[in-house]
Amino acid sequence: MLRRSSATWLLSLLATALLPSVAQAAHHCFPEPLFCGETRQASLDATECFLDEESWADFYTFTGPAGREVTITLSSDSIVPSLFLFSPQPELVVEEDSVGDTATIHHTLESGGLWRIGATTVGPRDTGQYTITLECSTPVPPAGNWLTTPEIPGFRFKVRITAQNAIAGTKTADCIEDTLCVSGALPGRAEVFLRVIGPRPNGYLWPTVVKLTTSQVEVWIEQVATGQVRYYFLPGAGPTSSELPGFFDRNGFLP
């Protein structure tokens, strides 16, 4: 059961959370991306978003395909944590209050797209430090050969591009330096660009994905020496979208 009238208020906030306004600027109501496998330490204070004018809240976003299993953990020694999970619609899917120092949500995503997390407190207007972690299952890579290139030694890739039907990405011969170019429905026309750069100052190699297609894109990257596989999901463009998302993973692979 939802406490207070938080569900209605949060849905209203999420509907406009990406649109700048004076109120949002004053309360930092801009969701931050949280990647699978990431643990982040943060602080909840009186400069954050209001939750139904009774508590403060931070918001995070992540993307995932339908069927992916996620575990979200919010823990703190100074506040009693509470978690909310919203679907891409957005609709409130799960609320979980802790009875101690940790709140945890285990959930299987019903649809693919941009999901949102609300991190807040059980007690009204409590503030303090907290740690939030997102863990995700890795979908099984599709059948077929892995893609390789001498431009990115030590790694191999699989790409699936989905519009109406799923298409296995193929390597494009003509590409730019240090990059694997991948085509979809039209062979030879690159739609996805992949790199692994670094090591960066944090000691990690950073996978980088850029797409030039409005279709949904899934990427599997395997580090051959360790067998570690990282999976990335970029949703297709929505009916009102004018952006082609790309990203880099700060915690991709150790050298």
How many CB atoms lie under 10 A from the CB of residue 65? 17
104 or 124, which is more confident: 104
Asked if residue 253 belongs to a domain, the reply is: no
Asked if residue 174 belongs to a domain, the reply is: yes
DSSP 36-54: TTEEEEEEE-TTSEEETTT
Tell me: do 84 and 195 sit in the same domain. Answer: no
Domain count, the chain: 2
Tell me: do 112 and 40 sit in the same domain. Answer: yes
pLDDT at 179 over 80: yes
| DSSP count for the chain of H helices, then E strands | 2, 19
Q: Tokens for 48?
A: 């954050």
Residue span of the structural domain in which 122 resides: 6-136
Tell me: do 161 and 119 sit in the same domain. Answer: no
pLDDT at residue 51, as a whole number: 67
Asked if residue 144 belongs to a domain, the reply is: no
Boundary-marking domain end, from 136, 170, 200 = 136
Residue 216 CA to residue 196 CA, distance in Å, equals 21
pTM reported for the whole predicted model: 0.76
C-alpha closest to that of 114 among 161, 64, 58, 60: 64
pLDDT tens digits for range 24-40:
333 457 888 998 989 99
pLDDT at residue 20, as a whole number: 34
pLDDT tens digits for range 80-104:
999 999 999 889 999 999 988 999 9
Percent residues over pLDDT 70 in the chain: 87
Neighbouring residues of 143: CB distance < 8 A, sequence distance ≥ 6 = none
Residue 130 CA to residue 34 CA, distance in Å, equals 15
